[in-house]
Amino acid sequence: MDEEQTRFVDAMGDTLASWNLPRATGRVYGYLLLRGEPSTSERLRADLALSAGAVSTSTRELVSWGLARTIAQPGSRRLLVEAAGGFEQLLSASHVRARAFIRTLRAAQELTDDDRAARRLRDVTDLFAAYVEAGEQMLRRHTQT
């Protein structure tokens, strides 16, 4: 990788780390986004200076988020891995988690001590609901273009 590619890969690591994903997962994702061809685990380890465990964990996390896919190699246990998409999948997965959070907040409405607490809880709930709705609108516009 050249210097600019390394900066991008590291920036992706930092970005996903700020979302509570391991930095290595973000670095693997950034690397895969730049590659035209699927990568082997060995190549990921060598190019990113990661352990086999970090590459394996990162690959599993990316696949579970829908950000990467693995490709079986006929006659081999080895898998290739490639980026499956952009931040649309990550945003969509974030919305799933935010909706679960919203359901939890709404279920707590009857548990508040007084009107002030109930208003505060509604405000938090409304904020997250607006975040999800705005993101959904953005995703719909993006998929229509």
Residue 42 pLDDT greater than 80, yes or no: yes
Mean pLDDT of 110-123: 93
| Structure confidence at residue 20 (pLDDT) | 86
In angstroms, the Cα distances linking 142 to 29, 62, 86, 90 are 21, 22, 11, 14
Look up the pTM and report it.
0.67
| Structure confidence at residue 45 (pLDDT) | 96
**Could you tell me if 93 and 65 are in contact, meaning their C-beta atoms sit under 8 angstroms apart?**
yes
| Structure confidence at residue 43 (pLDDT) | 96
Percent of the chain with pLDDT over 90: 64
Mean pLDDT of 117-125: 95
Mean pLDDT of 77-82: 91
Residue 113 pLDDT greater than 80, yes or no: yes
The letter for the amino acid at 131 is Y
Percent of the chain with pLDDT over 70: 97
- Who has greater pLDDT, 107 or 95? 107
Q: What is the mean pLDDT of the chain?
A: 90
Q: Residue 59: CB partners within 8 Å, gap ≥ 6? A: 28, 41, 44, 68, 70, 79, 81
| Structure confidence at residue 85 (pLDDT) | 66
92 band by pLDDT with thresholds 50, 70 and 90: confident
Least confident piece of the model among 36-45, 61-70, 104-113: 61-70
